[in-house]
Structure 1
Amino acid sequence: ERKSINRGVTVTDVILVVKTGNAQLKSKISKISREFSYDETAYNLPISFALTGVAVHDKSTAATVFTKTGDNPLVASECLLAEATAATGKESAPFTGFISDTVIRKLGYSLVDGSILGLSLIVGTPESAGSAAAICRELQEKYMLTFLAGGVIPTLSSAGVKLGLDYRLIPLGSKPLHGVHFVDIVARVAMMFGGVSPGDTGRLLAYAAERAKAIVIVFPGLTDEEIAFVDGMRVLGFPILSLGGYEGGEWTTATPDTIVRTGMDLKGIRVNVTAIPIPMGCSPAFEGKSIRKEEMQVEFGGGRSPAFELLRMKNPGEIEDGMVTVIGPEIDSMKEGGAYPLGIIIEVTGKSMKKDYEPVLERRIHNFVNYGEGSWHVAQRDLIWVRISKEAFAKGVKIEHLGKLLASKFRMDFPQLLDAVAVTLITEKEKVLVGKREAETIYADRDARIKGMRDHEVDTYYSCTLCQTFAPNHVCIITPERPALCGAISWLDGKIAFEMSPAGANQPVEKGSLINAQNGEFEGVNRFVKKASHGEIERCSLYSVMEYPMTCCGCFEVIALMLPEVNGIMVVNREYKGMTPSGMTFSTLAGTIGGGAQTPGFAGISKNYILSDRFLQGEGGIERLVWMPSQLKDELKPRLGPLLTAKGHPDLFDKIADETIAETIEDLTDFLNRVCHPALAMKPLM
């Protein structure tokens, strides 16, 4: 008779437990009594859909897929949890339950830019809150995005560990089986970014094993069903790491001190983390946090006090590496809750440093300040807003420590570029005002150098293949008038990134001979795209959504698509969750075009591309734009309104419908006819 699971089992016992657990899961599937689904996804029940292509929504389809996948415990767990959620609703906070497609797409860029190196799932109930907290802190510091399921969540909460997406510790649900949402995220990433087609099991498993850098950490005390569920993840290539109670060759045993390093080594996840000698943690895991007013000790800028930031190049020998200078009062002499002036001046030297690099490096101030566990930063230039939390202040954090954080991170992240970094922090009001005026002059000079750049004025564009980490055949082409589809990289960013890292993801693309001026097709671009997409994409038009549009990876800000019924094109941003006149939500649309696919009639784009003169040039320009969500319309209005007026269409902004005017294609048709939208009189799209 096999031993109690809490006292430890042998590898043979694990096999017996898995078989028993599978049988129990199968029995429960037979008792499903209601229909079920998740609303915020285009992938139905994602694991089942990815494995079989079947949209599971009831007992019959659940049983079919379970049998079709060889009594897969992941499928069973997914179906049972979806039915339970349909019956009782999502668990209340802090549990997230099923995570929407929109959130996953927002994480897309972090998954490819190096700020998230891998994924981890922790299930079960730890015996020690301290050891669990230490494991989670190590995962945060090593750039891992961690999901939690079961008793580990209340254990961490009782130890004062902050949970949530902002801290990259995501509490999925109260039971270990809620860890199935970790697996459904991997399945959706494969379909969103990796070009894996639903039902292509072999490609899904290969993608999960080779590209999903994922590990699973297990605390003792799981039931037979839960062990079967966890063991089922081995087929995806995830190492299962046990913290006691489970023995044998299939799962890897480890101690709390070694388990993170062991798991990362097994998946080939490499990270070099150097501790910064300041009294707060420093990691991208803290970048998404917020510090609310009631949580802050002091704040700077944000319209409440003058503030600015500036990075400038100096000559070799002019600065002392690592020097941090504070001019003015420190935090401990400031009133709690007060708003104070702040100037952040970073001075750098380096043999390879160029003046053109200044604004690109300066934008990293935002990231680095947010890496501090108790510091918060928004905006840039002279619009910055910085807060220090009460918790950080209680640990001894001062203005000086922000300077040490910045100096250390610039040297760590740009070792080949920078030879010395010095930081000056000014909190004396008059000196901040003087520095702010000097900085504004420098900002203006920078803007003058790049303002008005046009695609036809340069012979070289730049590529971005960062997303090939997840979408192997996707290639983004960045021009002065078309930013990367994620919205994060401009042409100048690409140019500087190449100069800083010649072997990196941003490579020069010689335009070559012109093939089609209207659509923006060039021989050199086609040649580069074919090579970089491993021969998958033969042609690429930079300005057309209809003919050979650029491929999509999945982390685009906006989707543009044709609406042939009204001879126009609509755009929908990923934050919009409602239905569009196309009859599809953003998630459904995104599910059809991601993963490096080239889909005529659809294109992933950035928000700023909508404001470009090249937007929809192949289809006749912005006069084709007939619908966008009101949220996006309001966001773009301050710039889009004047742009349309300058183009001779002062009334076009009001002729662009949103969901408050038209939710269906019929309503949209009526509205466009009523306002005489110019798209109706243009050349037919098809």
Structure 2
Amino acid sequence: EIYKDAEEAIKDNPPTRLFQRAINGAIIACGYAEILLSKALADYGPDAQVGYPDTAYYLPVIRSLSGEEVTQLGQLQPILNRMRAQVKESEVTFEMARLAGETTAYAAEIIETVHYLRYGHRHVEPWTGFIKDPIMRKYGILLVDWTIPGEGVIVGKAKTSEDLGNIARELMSLNIKTFFCNEVCEQALEVKVKAGKENCQFLLGNFTQLVHAFSYNLRAAMAFGGIEPGLRDHHRDYQRRRIRAFVLHLGEIDDVQVAAHFAAIFLGFPVICDTELPEDHQVPGWYESHPDYETLVKYAMEVRGLEVEDIEVSEPLVIGSTQEEKVIAREGKDSKFKERVQLVLK
């Protein structure tokens, strides 16, 4: 049980305020999903075809965790009802907060599905929204075999765009796949972070588009881990063991975002916030505060169990296995990356 140590640490003084916020956020998310779904059913009818573009995994969060092959709009209402029913407002516990997180992931998937039904795939590079299967297959294998050693999900808004750029470039230099959601996307573009699939830096979008990071990881488990759809706990175990992801939340946090954080925790990903959190808003090893941007990435990686080793590299290039076989020129210098571990400089 991966939460056992945390449960033991908080048993005498559980952060019930934090858990209550997660529960409240899940209820709000379900309410919003209900409104959008009801309107879509009225506009399109229950037989309307739904799904994401270029994927064999239907609605991947739902497909992986409960096994349903959702193809029609009308199938979503009973799923939403079932997930809302598992959130018990009277049970303010760590376990219930995690279930609230799971419910929030489902609600976000449903909201995004309705958006895709109404508007289609409107994203223009470097924005991604839902990440299609060919990209997931090309880069997902590098994540699960640890060629890419880990994954960072950055949510919110950094104190400055320059701060966000520094965090993003540090993650890239460590060869960490990165997803961005909310204002950090605009900040990344402002400071010219090298976003795009080639650099494994994905600008998802805003609000519920965070679910596309979870979707990517869960599809990787089905594609490369051999985890069958509907084996919920097997998927969670695979996410914790193989994906090695963590969430960095920058800036203010509302209840729905807390619920989304617990969706990450439900899948085995710890959450590190840059805001000062009181003790009754933290869970050791899972939901922590670390305001120092200089050491934020290193701290998050250590919490996730990723070893960080400091080395000096005189040439200030962002390098990693995602740049294999690329030639990079800067001020008369060029570097070619050969194979997975050999770097030849001239």
State TM-score, norm by structure 2: 0.78
Equivalent position of 2:192 in the other structure: 160
1:105 to 117, 125, 137: 137
Describe how 1:116-131 pairs up with structure 2 within 5 A.
116-131=148-163
Q: Deviations over 1:391-411 (max 9, x none)?
A: x22xxx435xx4xx77xx99x
In the TM superposition, residue 246 of structure 1 has moved relative to its aligned partner by 4.5
2:311 to 274, 283, 308: 274
1:77 to 78, 84, 108: 108
3-state SS of 2:117 partner:
helix
Equivalent position of 1:265 in the other structure: 302
Equivalent position of 1:452 in the other structure: none
Tell me which stretches of 4 or more aligned residues in structure 1 moved more than 6 Å: none
Describe how 1:557-572 pairs up with structure 2 within 5 A.
none
Equivalent position of 2:288 in the other structure: 252
Equivalent position of 1:467 in the other structure: none
3-state SS of 2:154 partner:
strand
Structure 1 unaligned regions, length at least 5: 1-9, 288-366, 377-387, 415-420, 426-686
Distance 1:245 1:64, change over 3 A: farther
Larger Rg: 1
Equivalent position of 1:181 in the other structure: 212
Q: Letter of the aligned partner of 1:116 in structure 2?
A: I
In the TM superposition, residue 97 of structure 1 has moved relative to its aligned partner by 0.8
In the TM superposition, residue 155 of structure 1 has moved relative to its aligned partner by 0.9
Identity %: 24
Distance 1:23 1:283, change over 3 A: same
CA contact (8 A) 1:177 1:226 kept: no
Q: Deviations over 1:194-235 (max 9, x none)?
A: 121111112111111222211111012343223212222111
- Confirm whether residue 61 of structure 1 aligns to residue 71 of structure 2: no
Equivalent position of 1:51 in the other structure: 65
Structure 2 unaligned regions, length at least 5: 1-13, 42-47, 88-102
In the TM superposition, residue 413 of structure 1 has moved relative to its aligned partner by 4.1
Distance 1:149 1:262, change over 3 A: same
Bigger proportion of residues as helix: 2
Q: Deviations over 1:446-473 (max 9, x none)?
A: xxxxxxxxxxxxxxxxxxxxxxxxxxxx
Separation in 2 of the partners of 1:398 and 1:190? 40
In the TM superposition, residue 15 of structure 1 has moved relative to its aligned partner by 2.3
CA RMSD of aligned residues (A): 2.7
Q: Deviations over 1:622-643 (max 9, x none)?
A: xxxxxxxxxxxxxxxxxxxxxx
In the TM superposition, residue 279 of structure 1 has moved relative to its aligned partner by 4.3
Q: Letter of the aligned partner of 2:244 in structure 1?
A: K
CA contact (8 A) 1:37 1:86 kept: yes
In the TM superposition, residue 243 of structure 1 has moved relative to its aligned partner by 0.9
In the TM superposition, residue 281 of structure 1 has moved relative to its aligned partner by 3.1
Q: Deviations over 1:626-674 (max 9, x none)?
A: xxxxxxxxxxxxxxxxxxxxxxxxxxxxxxxxxxxxxxxxxxxxxxxxx
In the TM superposition, residue 11 of structure 1 has moved relative to its aligned partner by 4.0
3-state SS of 1:61 partner:
helix
Residue correspondences, number = 299
3-state SS of 1:121 partner:
strand
In the TM superposition, residue 192 of structure 1 has moved relative to its aligned partner by 0.9
- Confirm whether residue 24 of structure 1 aligns to residue 28 of structure 2: yes
In the TM superposition, residue 17 of structure 1 has moved relative to its aligned partner by 2.2
Distance 1:194 1:179, change over 3 A: same
CA contact (8 A) 1:125 1:151 kept: yes
1:41 to 47, 55, 74: 55
Equivalent position of 1:204 in the other structure: 235
Distance 1:109 1:203, change over 3 A: closer
Separation in 1 of the partners of 2:197 and 2:344? 33
Q: Which has the higher contact order (CA 8 A, sep 6+)?
A: 2
In the TM superposition, residue 110 of structure 1 has moved relative to its aligned partner by 2.3
Separation in 2 of the partners of 1:422 and 1:203? 41
Describe how 1:613-624 pairs up with structure 2 within 5 A.
none
Equivalent position of 1:231 in the other structure: 262
In the TM superposition, residue 276 of structure 1 has moved relative to its aligned partner by 2.5
CA contact (8 A) 2:204 2:212 kept: yes
Separation in 1 of the partners of 2:344 and 2:245? 38
CA contact (8 A) 1:123 1:150 kept: yes
Separation in 2 of the partners of 1:245 and 1:44? 40
3-state SS of 2:315 partner:
coil
- Confirm whether residue 132 of structure 1 aligns to residue 164 of structure 2: yes
CA contact (8 A) 1:14 1:246 kept: no
